[in-house]
Amino acid sequence: MVGMRFPLFYVFAFEFALLFVGSKAYEATEKELKSLPDFGKPPVYRKLRCTACRASVIELHEGLVELQRRKGGQKYVKEYDRLEMIEAVCFDSKLSNAAQKKDFKRKGLPLFPLKAWGLQRRNNEATTDFSRDIAISRIQGNWVNNFLTNMCGEIIGEYDEELFHGFKTHGEEGIHHLINAICGSGESVLRVCEDKLLGNEEVLMIPSERQRNGEL
């Protein structure tokens, strides 16, 4: 179990937000800020938890795939390598020091790739769906990024062993199985999603920034 993180119900203190249209960012207006989902409402909070969990597992899975390929196979990956990778993926600048950040960068680890995610907008209002699709507008900042940071930290802080076991069991192509094992209903460890993914969902098809740039 890696370092503990603050639970998701802690206060989110950001007072600004950014609206992303394609790869460009704009400061969100007061009207757009007011359109953010009210996570104080239990049904909204549960939906946010589900989509944030799925986003986090997608990035964690991609980090573990990258690590396995770098090392030349799963049997060459050490426990320390896995822990370091997931810490980089869920990197929280508020809880980490500059030396650790510098070390992650030196090793070429993906440093908080969740920064590319935001709440998808429909009809000019933010939904409860986290997305990294640059073809649609997304809103970030305010409490949105903190929500992702805390969700990712909760997974690696409490369920890193289940994450590693699920990845070893399902492999590189079994991302939806890993998401269901961590986030889904039934026997999952978090049980934050009411439904299970089938493997053909759009959220699983959207490439990461590193993939688009040919880095992976």
pLDDT in tens, 49-102: 999 999 999 999 999 999 999 999 888 999 999 999 999 999 987 777 788 889
- What DSSP state is assigned to residue 171? -
pLDDT of residue 145: 87
pLDDT of residue 9: 40
pLDDT of residue 93: 76
pLDDT of residue 212: 75
pLDDT in tens, 110-165: 999 999 999 998 888 889 999 999 888 888 887 888 899 999 999 999 999 999 99
pLDDT band at 179 (very low <50, low <70, confident <90, very high): very high
Contact 42, 127 (CB under 8 A): no
94 conformational bin, left if phi > 0, alpha if psi -120 to 50, beta if neither: alpha
Sequence ranges of the domains in the chain = 17-25+39-212
pLDDT in tens, 9-50: 433 444 456 767 666 656 777 777 778 899 899 999 999 999
Bridge partners (DSSP) of residue 125 are 122
Query: From CA 97, how far away is CA 88, in angstroms rounded?
Result: 12
pTM: 0.88
